[in-house]
Structure 1
Amino acid sequence: MNSTDKKSAVLGAEFLRHDTAAAESGVEDYLEHDAAVYRTLLESTRAIPWKIDWATMEFAYIGPQIETLLGWAPSSWKTVQDWAARMHPDDRDKVVEFCVAQSKAGTDHEADYRALTSGGEYVWLRDVVHVVRDARGEVESLVGFMFDISERKKTEEKVAALQRELEALSFKDGLTGVGNRREFDAVLQREWSAAQRHGAPLSLIMADIDFFKSYNDYYGHVQGDACLKQIATVLSEAVRPGDFVGRFGGEEFVLILPNTGAEAARQVVERCRDRISAAEIAHERSPFRQTVTASFGAGTVIPSASDDAVAFVNLVDTQLYHAKDNGRDCISAVNRAA
């Protein structure tokens, strides 16, 4: 709430409390003059004041600004049922339960919700509620102020959308568009924990483009980047829904296959290898048909509480180097789930 709204709230609360106190004291002349001043000042603000009698749950007062904002005449706000009925269905139960509980406890509170206009649209409101007690300490009435926070909510939603977009970008490799090392770490931790809980197999595949340094030296880094993008696309199209593809670094890619045994993982690797071959990306400096190939390391495990995810990654990485040492364009795998 900004400073103007706070001043309006304080002024309005003073008016509504003073209105009741003056009536009880019977100082009619004072009430007529002073309350009129308060009412004029209050109703010239953007804050919408209201007062509810706790015993009857009826509106004792609601500012005329309500009709300008929502289109409903002040006279149509008779009980709290009118307030609740004009609330978005997705907000109603939560907000009503919260406000009732806080009011019963005698606690001042705030609530944000979408209010229905007479035209069938919704406007974001913030209700700031003060609980008024009688001499015995019992709840006597509620004094509140409605504030139009639609613009604030729009700004918050834009900021939230930008944050989600930035978070998504922070998990993507800027060149290839697949997951980056940060996302790989997060996905691996999540799937490792899930595999431990359910006693399910988890497979990991690491792929490294063969002779990529000579590719860059011959074709240049721009073409090298294009090659990495194409390989990322091929791998993404070769995996199944729910599998993860990421760039581990340089010309190395990594795949996480949840709930996947060794044989199924082997089939995924073979499909990746076949599709890279079918892409026929020219590589004049490669001894394999002068096209781009890749070496693969694969591993499968049913992780126990004593197993370590980093150690498993290192194990698969070792398999990758076995594949490269054995002539490249091949697969080396280990099965720790057997």
Structure 2
Amino acid sequence: MSDSIFSSPRIVNDLVYKTLIESTLAIPWSIDWGTKKFSYIGPQIEKVLGWKQDSWRTVEDWAMRMHENDRAWVVDFCVAQSISGVDHEADYRALTINGEYIWIRDVVHVVRKPNGEVDSLVGFMFDISERKKQEQELEILKKQLEEYSYQDGLTEIANRRFFEDSYQREWLNAQREQQPLTLMLLDIDYFKQYNDHNGHLLGDACLKQIAQILKKSVSRPRDLVARFGGEEFILILPDTTQASAIEVVERILQSIRTADICHSTSPLDQRLSVSLGVKTIIPTQKNDKMAFLKEVDQNLYLAKERGRNGYVIQDAEDVQHLNSY
């Protein structure tokens, strides 16, 4: 009987083909287009998903063993591509017999009749869970790298690069909407002396503390606190009038006084203080954002020149005000 079986080259070829197919990690399958029934699915399916080979009867079994968030679009996509006679592939989460989901990639070839009508679909399912896991890990790493590229490593607030991107966006928005935009540039008074006297560890701790005080002093989603460099910090306050800006400055100064950070080498006092340059503008096409930033920096310079421990703000009449504590 064995001799008679293997005497047929066609049968030998079919057996070899079946053995090869069923020894691969991929899961072969075929579906009759007219009946929408599986004409074949490889035994590997039970190892991958747990469902017995003979439980895959129709495309309904395939669809219902798919994550509900993937089902509609995958089915619609595959049907549309098949009707069009286009080979295709789809990634989706498939339900295992124990209730978990794994990622499957279905690669589909459309077989047509001589008259052009769809005859059947044949394809392979691949378990791509490990690949998806790696992709997700890479995506997380990418986001972390993006965060790191926009985050100051010490204070964990936005860095200068992020400030520059945000400033460009908020300037254009204020220009378009004709709304006020406020910038504040803050410098810790006599920080070099503080650092030299207390050491870099306490100096770093001081920078972190000031960063957190600034973050807590603003609350709106678009308000931004960034480290500008060294002991300088900068704030972007969109849609903020000069009067509102003064309230924020007063809140910052009060919070720093309340923190009562010792600065025994400060010529001003025995506690840490800061100086701020503040300016508000409703920008037009005639204004230049870098020139405006320079004016804010000039206000900071004036605040330090006039005794520090306070702020300089410029009103519409270009009159300088100094408030010291």
TM-score (norm 1): 0.84
Pick from 270, 278, 284: which aligns with 1:298? Answer: 278
Root mean square deviation of aligned Cα? 2.3
1:224 matched to which residue of 2?
Answer: 203
SS of the residue corresponding to residue 183 of structure 2 reads: strand
1:97 CA drift (Å): 2.5
Matched, 1:42 2:49: no
Where does 1:236-247 land on structure 2 (aligned, <5 Å)? 236-242=215-221, 243-247=223-227
Matched, 1:283 2:246: no
1:60 matched to which residue of 2?
Answer: 39
Distance 2:56 2:285 in 1: 61
Distance 1:196 1:87 in 2: 50
Pick from 237, 260, 280: which aligns with 1:257? Answer: 237
Distance 1:239 1:281 in 2: 21
Distance 1:307 1:106 in 2: 59
2:91 matched to which residue of 1?
Answer: 112
Pick from 297, 305, 308: which aligns with 1:328? Answer: 308
Distance 2:285 2:114 in 1: 62
Matched, 1:174 2:153: yes
Identity %: 56
Cα gap change, 1:207 to 1:91, in 2 (>3 Å): same
How many residues are aligned here?
A: 310
Tell which deviates more after alignment, 270-279 or 304-313: 304-313
Matched letter for residue 270 of structure 2: Q
Q: Is the 8 A contact 1:127 1:146 kept in 2?
A: yes
1:124 CA drift (Å): 0.6
Distance 1:45 1:289 in 2: 78
Distance 1:86 1:115 in 2: 6
Pick from 99, 110, 113: which aligns with 1:131? Answer: 110
Structure 2's unaligned 5+ residue stretches are 1-6, 317-325
SS of the residue corresponding to residue 186 of structure 2 reads: strand
1:93 matched to which residue of 2?
Answer: 72
Tell which deviates more after alignment, 256-265 or 46-55: 256-265
Q: Is the 8 A contact 1:200 1:259 kept in 2?
A: yes
For residues 162-193 of structure 1, the C-alpha deviation after alignment (integer angstroms, 9 at most, x for no partner) is: 22222212222122222111121222233334
1:241 CA drift (Å): 4.0
1:183 matched to which residue of 2?
Answer: 162
Structure 1's unaligned 5+ residue stretches are 1-27
2:124 matched to which residue of 1?
Answer: 145
For residues 109-156 of structure 1, the C-alpha deviation after alignment (integer angstroms, 9 at most, x for no partner) is: 221110011221101101111121222333322111001111111122
1:51 CA drift (Å): 0.8
Distance 1:193 1:105 in 2: 47
TM-score (norm 2): 0.87
